[in-house]
Structure 1
């Protein structure tokens, strides 16, 4: 059913509002993930519990950032336009700042995880599991996984990736190909970082069974295999 509004202005404003709703709530989930981790509180369990409320709550989930051609961009058209009307859209801009910081936070968490294993991030071999901006597509626009990749390389890590939908990608003026996911290859990495939740074409059980460290920023492995994976010593969620 098509919902008709009074003018193209209202139609475009509707799109902006919907995307702004998402960027703000993504930022809230991400900020809660950061502060709850510091407090030793399980953000995923908290969201699941809050989602049982039949009204007043819409679940959003933390992750390595936001991507795509809508959420990271459209709200800032409004930010720009609002300045013509002498208004500063503080909530939108702060939400963008929080989300933009998530790739750096993911790398900081990975550094802490490796440090506990007496392993520095520099020269560590890291696999990114998924580089598309969302699951089961090949779209890389504004993908936070690419920003995680960049941050890792800044810290001296050696990065490769597996993505069943992105067989190759242009990276710093070179074409980089996805690795072929095998048990021996997974074992060779110091850590595997899930940066995209692909529901299909990823053998999460095999990765869990063979990874030295499996750092899941999307709760993908629990979603795929169930909560029994939480007992695995090598499995850590954002």
Structure 2
């Protein structure tokens, strides 16, 4: 039986553990957080995509969580699923990856496969992880195998999950690629192998850079279309009727989540570090997308001015503060800088989100409005940032004094769209 230890039991590692354990593999989820481990072993989930019943089903199938690194000694497959945030000045922070790899190296069994799933810049698997694993005198493909396989978890996606989303795999050698591909083929329908680890690493970055740049395109169009009195939302609906050569992207208040605001920076960083020149498309997209929260606040101010009200002293209600609809994840959500800017300009900010009970903004803990309709009616302006399924935007816009829709979902004349 394949014994698997998955390092990191968050949004990536926990669904991976679920897929592996239900395929009949012996799975241990390793996490440094004792609190997370205790909750998982008690059948309690801490991520959107898995509920408590899912964790209980995993436990019944043999899964368990542990914070003891000694569990790695029993594994013939170890998968790294730890955070890779941005550090100072936008540079990659691989602290967690280095620490995890060192722990693995100290406990690795002979012949084990090690796979990195955490997003990173090209060359990390071979240039950073491989030397750590080889440092005790191990030899690649004799004493261990090593590969990269980018995570493609999309929180809240009911159509595509781990099993039916093709899995890209690239080893630092052909043998390692084959071993890693065979592992994932046990619980993923389609495994796509690449030329090597660098190609697999770059494929992940290309996927999200593609989205990042196209979102920036429509965000910039939103600005000049507003000035030219052009309904961009209607433009997009018309353009996407073309059955080839066009994919619809939509403007918004900014980009959020664990991928788009971060991953393209890893690619830009590697280009600058290795080649000495900028990845201009990425850096321009970053500039545009990062400026959207300030643009949204400027539009709020203009809307209030048009109603002969000042932003300072006005009550602003934010609807939906997560980075994506119908989930509770607030990572890199544009709602945070928007709230901070509004507060800095003297506005009184409140929020409603059916998925978020409390929210920390600028050191202050805010609590979600208890009554949505009462909150909408009492605010000077309502700002729709995330269109959760529980919302009825047209009905809410008709109840609001002023309603600014940054998601283009309203159809009433009472709403103002981005």
State the TM-score, normalized to the length of structure 2.
0.53
1:40-55 matches, within 5 Å, as: 40-55=229-244
Could you list the per-position Cα deviations for residues 65-85 of structure 1 after superposition, in whole angstroms to 9, with x for gaps in the alignment? 100111010111111111121
Flag as ranges the 4+ runs of structure 1 deviating above 4 A.
none
Partners of 1:235 and 1:36 in 2: CA distance: 17
Query: How much does 1:206 deviate?
Result: 4.2
Query: What is the CA–CA distance in structure 1 between the aligned matches of 2:398 and 2:380, rounded to whole Å?
Result: 14
In 2, Cα distance between equivalents of 1:186 and 1:174: 22
Structure 1: segments with no counterpart, 5+ residues: none
In the other structure, the counterpart of 2:379 is 189
Work out whether 1:139 is the aligned partner of 2:329: yes
- Name the structure 1 match of 2:362: 172
**Aligned equivalent of 1:64, options 253, 265, 269:** 253
Q: Secondary structure at the match of 1:215?
A: strand
Inter-partner Cα distance in structure 2 for 1:132 and 1:159: 16
Which protein has greater RCO, CA pairs closer than 8 Å, 6+ apart?
1
User: Where in structure 2 are the equivalents of 1:7-156 lying within 5 Å?
Assistant: 7-83=196-272, 84-156=274-346
Q: Which structure dedicates a bigger proportion of its chain to helix?
A: 1
Q: CA deviation at 1:202?
A: 2.3
**Pairs aligned (count):** 228
SS of 1:170's partner is strand
Secondary structure of the 1:57 match is: coil
Asked which structure has the greater CA Rg, the reply is 2
C-alpha distance in structure 2 between counterparts of 1:174 and 1:37, whole Å: 34
CA deviation profile, 1:170-201 (whole Å, cap 9, x unmatched): 22333221112343332110000001121x22
RMSD over equivalenced CA pairs, Å: 1.3
2: distance between equivalents of 1:179 and 1:155?
A: 22
SS at match of 1:82: helix
Q: For residues 153-183 of structure 1, give each alpha carbon's deviation from its aligned partner in whole angstroms, at most 9, with x where no partner exists.
A: 1111100000000111222333221112343
Contact 2:358/2:367 (8 A) holds in 1: yes
Q: TM-score, with normalisation over the residues of structure 1? A: 0.92
Q: SS of the residue aligned with 1:52?
A: coil
User: CA shift at 1:205, angstroms?
Assistant: 4.6
Aligned-residue offset at 1:211: 0.5
Counterpart secondary structure, 1:135: coil
SS at match of 1:164: coil
Aligned residue for 1:111, secondary structure, equals helix
| 1:235 equivalent in alignment to 2:397 | no
- Say if 2:340 and 2:362, in contact at 8 Å, map to a contact too: no
Distance of 2:394 and 2:242 partners within structure 1: 32
